[in-house]
Amino acid sequence: MKAMLRHLRSNRLALVGAIILLAVVLIAIFVPLLTSGDPNRIAMQLKNRLPSFDHPFGTDQFGRDLFLRVALGSRLSLMIALAISTVALVVGTLFGIVAGYAGGWVDAVLSRIMDSLMAFPSILLALGIMAMLGASTENVIVALSLVYIPRMARVARAPVLAQKELDYVDAARSCGASHMRVLFRHILPNIVSSLIVQVTVIFAYAMVAEATLGFLGIGVPPPAPTWGNLLADGRRTLMTIPYQTVFPAIALGITVLGINFFGDGLRDLLDPRMRGSGTAAVE
C-alpha cells in the first residue's frame, strides 16, 4: 500500500486521476444524501432557469434542479459501469483462462464465440441486444457486459498461453496439483495485473457506452437521471440553453479522463517495465 501511494505521488497524472475519481465517487454518494430536494420533482414555474446560487447548474425544461440530477446521474452511471466491468472481469476472465489453459477444441470453440461477438462494432451490438430486450437498467448491464466480456477474455487468454509452458507450472503438476489448482492458484495470480488494467479501460468504455445508449433513448428509461439521459434532454434546447447539455457532458468527460489517468498509473505500477518511463513522462 505504501509503495502504491509513493507511486501515485510520483506519477502526477495518476494522482490527478485518483483525485478526480475520488471526488466523483464522493459526490455520487453524499450530494443526494445531504440535499432535501427531489431531482425528479417537476416545477414548471422554475423551468429553464439560469445557473444561480439556489440552482448551481440551473434547471431543465421541467424545472428540475440540474445539479442534483447530474450528481444523482453520476451515482447511476458509476454503478452501471461498475456492474458491467465486474461481470466482464469475472465471466471474461473465466472464459479466457479456461480457453488458454485447456487448448485444443475447447480453446477453438470459446475463441470463435468471442471472435463472433467482437466482429460486431460495440455500439451496434449493444443496440441490437437492447432492441431485443427493451430499455431498462438491468438490460443495459446485460447488453454492455456481452460487449466487453470478449475483450476481457482475449486479454486473459493471451498470457495464460505463455504461462502454462513455464517451469513453475510443470513443477506444480509434477507435485500432483490438479488443473483447477494450477489454473487458479498458480497461473491466475501471475496475470492479475493485466486484468486490473483492462478493467479500468472497460470501466471508462462502459460509462461512455451507457451514456450513448441513454442519449439514443434506449438506455436507462427516464425519469432516472443518468448522464446519457441528461444529454438527451439537453439536446432539445442545445442552441438556446446550452448549459443543460454542457454540464452533463463535462461531468462525463472529466470522469472518463480521470479513470484513464488512474488506469495508466495502475499500468505503470503493476508493470515494472513501465515504471521508469511512466514516471519520467510526468516529471
pLDDT tens-digit series, residues 119-137: 888 888 898 899 888 888 8
Q: What is the mean pLDDT of residues 203-207?
A: 92
Bond from prior residue into 223 cis (ω within 30 degrees of 0):
yes
Q: What is the mean pLDDT of the chain?
A: 83
On whether the CB atoms of residues 135 and 221 are closer than 8 A, the answer is yes
Whether residue 205 lies inside any domain: the answer is: yes
Range of the domain at 215: 64-261
273 in a structural domain: no
In a domain, 217, yes or no: yes
**How many alpha carbons fall within 13 Å on the CB side of residue 156?**
32
**Is 279 a domain residue?**
no
User: DSSP states of 41-78 as a string?
Assistant: ---GGGTTPPP-SSSTT-B-TT--BHHHHHHHHHHHHH
Predicted TM-score (pTM) of the model is: 0.84
Tell me what the mean pLDDT of segment 253-262 comes to.
90
Stretch 239-266: mean pLDDT? 86
Instruction: Classify residue 10: in a domain, yes or no.
Output: no
Name the band, by pLDDT with cuts 50, 70 and 90, for residue 48.
confident
Domain tally for the chain? 1
**The CATH number of the domain where 104 resides is what?**
1.10.3720.10
Residue 36 lies in a domain: no
Residue 74 lies in a domain: yes
Over residues 154-204, the pLDDT tens digits come to 999 988 888 888 888 878 888 887 878 888 888 888 888 888 888 988 999
Does residue 248 lie within any of the structural domains?
yes
Nearest to 266 by CA among 199, 188, 206: 199
